[in-house]
Structure 1
Amino acid sequence: MSALVWFAVAAAALVLAGLFATLHMAIRQASLSRVEELAEERANPAMIRKIDALVRDADGHALAAAFPRVFFTFLFMISVVAWIAQVRHAGDPSSTDVILGVLVSSILAWVFAVALPVSVAEHAAERTIVRFCGLIRLLFIVMAPLRRVGAFFDEVVRRLVGDAERDSAEMLQDEVLSVVEEGEREGQIDEQARHMIESVMQFGWRTVEEIMTPRTEVDALEYTDDLAAVQSFVRDVGHSRIPVYRDDLDHVVGFLYAKDLLRWMSNPEGVDPAAFSLASILRPATFVPETKTVQELLKELLGHRVHIAVAADEYGGTAGIVTMEDIIEEVFGEIQDEYEAPSERPSVDIDRDQMRAELDARTRIDEANDLLDAIGITLPESEDYDTLAGLVIVKLGFIPEPGATVEIDGAILKVLEAEQTRVKRVEVHRMQDREGEGTRAVVAEDGPV
């Protein structure tokens, strides 16, 4: 063929390579919800049907657009080499022609089939998809055999790397979190906003067990009709809602709302304290499994119009108490109202200069790792424990006294406060880098070594 024909083929191939590269990248980059909105604005039923089909299998349509992108890029490179050969000596391509052709075609392909499509996909992905939805759907149908081959290799790779199959909801959540992190890096979202968004997104898999007040921390009233005893307990604990039990905390019979006690506490004329019956003012208790997700819990509390519930374990016992405030604190951080005594020390104290941190022992390991990342410490996670206290107890094999320490993976955990049945506060200190990281326990002089 003549030089002019090869030039025309190269030009057409470059245009088509750029077009399919743009479609491929646009599908990968686009907000599918925005694509649907644009299609609905056009009020074209045929277009809406095509867009709906595209959104249902965006990955498949992107894969369908990738093949012609590769094909026309390859054709463009061959055409450029042939064109150069015809221009230089009207014969078969020499090694010099091939080198020149590959160099020139690579530069042009990068500009028109990579850089330009990336720019279009970044700024006009949704509009591009809507405009070319017919072509994209046609490619999807024509490339069906190749799509099956692509899906096969995708499954092979997924199994080889051991990646668990995820549903679209999980992938969407990961995508949103990735966008949020990118926004923080670019300064468009501050750290507090990022934390709030991530917390809301985690509602789908964070459980009641992770946010509840554990049984050992619950202030509960044993059932009694002694008005003076009830009044004294309410004043002492300072809570607006108090669980009431019979025999033990595994038998919660209801919740006492402090406001329901006001008429008895004021002792107005005509009210006989001896006639007081706690059962008459108790609110029914709502029970939820500790494995319920925070998202499900929020729906249930709103549905029942209650602000507090009993978290039950698998044996039917009381695992703890969970409130609407606990859910809110997952988003906005710890809330301390005017009735709570101010903490003598912060729940988290991180000293970057000394490479140490002081934390509440109830802090969950994943949350602790987020905080300890500032001093370069990552604690091991395990199904055997959930919190810092659990980690220390599992590694030591007993409930330690203050002063006990344990070395784990380059970090020293020291017990600062403890009671007979639990660890309350822990200091985490980064060790100097050294060989042979592992676990080593060192306890108080009067304890085991």
Structure 2
Amino acid sequence: METSATSILWPLIAGAVIILANAFFVIFEYAIVTVRRGRIEHLAEEGNRNAGLVSRMLNDPDWAIAGSQVGVTMASILLGVVAEEPLRLLLSPILARLFGQVPFLAPLSTILATVLVFLLLSFVLMVIGEQTPKTIALRYPVRSVLAVARPMTIFARIAAPLVWLVDHSTALVLKLLGVGGHTSGHGIHSLEELKQVVRESEDEGVISAGDEKLVLRAMTFGSRFVRETMIPRTDIVAVENTDTVGDLLQIFRKSRHSRFPVYEGDLDHICGIVSMKDVLAHVVDDPYIADRALAEVNVIQPALVVPESRRVGDLFNQMRR
């Protein structure tokens, strides 16, 4: 009985080690395609040896990905070879006892044990060997890739023939499909990926918390509605068209705004916009213009009126025209 238990226990331990090895390769694969080259090169310049290894890998990411795929494939095959039979032997007697009371189900115990083993191994491999390391690599790409860089380099050297075969076979298939060239490692990032880069930069001390907040807000600014960027009516700094240029200069000294809305009678009747650049140009040409009303001076430009439901990004594009 002891020999039987040992023959089951050791393969199961080996299976657990293989699942962890699969997780190792998955972490490397996702971290190497997610990590920013600039950050790695900065760490390499500071003397981080693992960063130097990663930097060289980024010069040929196709080779690095091929190496991780060789590892993942080998781990998956070995897991089935090592753990499937011991698990089936472990589950078969249990299922035989459960279904032994039902004559027509008893012969199915071995088949059910095989199916359960397949489902169990697939589930454990998916959760522990795939999804968990993938999430870790995507959230912490720098830490992840630095942690696995050296052992991955050793593995790639040992399995160099297989890695070479997978890499070149993939390149051949891509060529047949009309997809030439090599992966550059400088892919286009989505907005969410860029946000993640900014958050990681703040976590690693590259930028301050204030800069992180500013950049994240700038990224989403264009998708906001105009009404979200409007200031309260009581905070509006505006001038009346009957105000003089001198009055406007006094308001400018206090507010330091570069443009002011111009109204006629009250704020409900905006008649245009005045730019301080235009006003100062007139002041230079005519020092006595300060006593003249804005309506008498050719400085009021038409105001751009848009619905408050418009996107800020669309509004900026219109303003550039």
Q: TM-score, normalised by structure 2?
A: 0.52
Matching of residue 194 in structure 1 with residue 219 in structure 2: yes
SS at 1:132 equivalent: helix
| Residue 314 of structure 2 corresponds to residue 371 of structure 1 | yes
Quote the residue 2:173 is aligned against. Answer: 153
Percent identity of equivalent pairs: 15
8 Å CA contact 1:61–1:137 kept in 2: the answer is no
Call closer, same or farther: CA 1:193–1:9 in 2, change over 3 Å.
same
Once the two structures are TM-superposed, the CA of residue 101 in structure 1 deviates from its matched residue by 0.7
**Among 133, 137, 142, the residue aligned to 1:117:** 133
Report the equivalent of 1:175.
189
State the SS of the aligned residue for 1:175.
coil
More helix by share: 2
Aligned position for 1:77 = 80
> Which residue is 1:87 aligned to?
90
Shift of 1:14: 1.2
Equivalent residue letter for 1:112? I
Find the aligned partners of 1:71 and 1:63 in 2 and give their Cα distance: 12
Q: Give, in angstroms, the shift of residue 99 of structure 1.
A: 0.7
2:18 counterpart of 1:13: yes
The alpha carbon displacement at 1:33 in A equals 2.5
Measure, in 2, the Cα distance between the counterparts of 1:36 and 1:144: 26
Distance (Å, rounded) in 1 between the aligned partners of 2:308 and 2:182: 36
Contact 2:44 2:52 in 1 (8 A): no
Q: Distance in 1 between matches of 2:44 and 2:12?
A: 38
* 2:27/2:134 contact within 8 Å kept: yes
Q: Does 1:343 align with 2:302?
A: yes
3-state DSSP class of the match of 2:300?
Answer: coil
In structure 1, the residue matched to 2:54 is: 51
Structure with the largest fraction of strand = 1
User: How far apart, CA to CA, are the structure 1 residues paired with 2:221 and 2:194?
Assistant: 10
The verdict on how the C-alpha distance between 1:77 and 1:343 changes in structure 2, with shifts beyond 3 A counting, is farther
User: Post-superposition shift, 1:82?
Assistant: 0.7
**AA at the equivalent of 1:147:** D
Q: Is the 8 A contact 1:65 1:139 kept in 2?
A: no
Q: Which amino acid aligns with 2:122?
A: S
Q: Which of 113, 136, 143 pairs up with 1:127? A: 143
1:396-407 correspondence runs (5 A): none
Residue 18 of structure 1 and its aligned partner are, at CA, apart by 1.4
Higher relative contact order at CA 8 Å, sep ≥6: structure 1 or structure 2? 2
| Cα separation, partners in 2 of 1:85 and 1:26, compared to 1, 3 Å | same
Query: Within the alignment, does 1:66 sit opposite 2:69 as a pair?
Result: yes
1:31 aligns with 2:45: no
Amino acid at match of 1:75: L
Letter in 2 for 1:86: L
How far off is 1:196 after superposition?
A: 8.0
| Preserved contact between residue 183 and residue 189 of structure 1 (Cα < 8 Å) | no
Structure 1's unaligned 5+ residue stretches are 199-237, 242-257, 267-337, 358-366, 373-386, 389-424, 426-449
Contiguous gaps of at least 5 residues in structure 2: 94-108, 199-211, 224-274, 288-296
> Are 1:144 and 2:147 matched, yes or no?
no
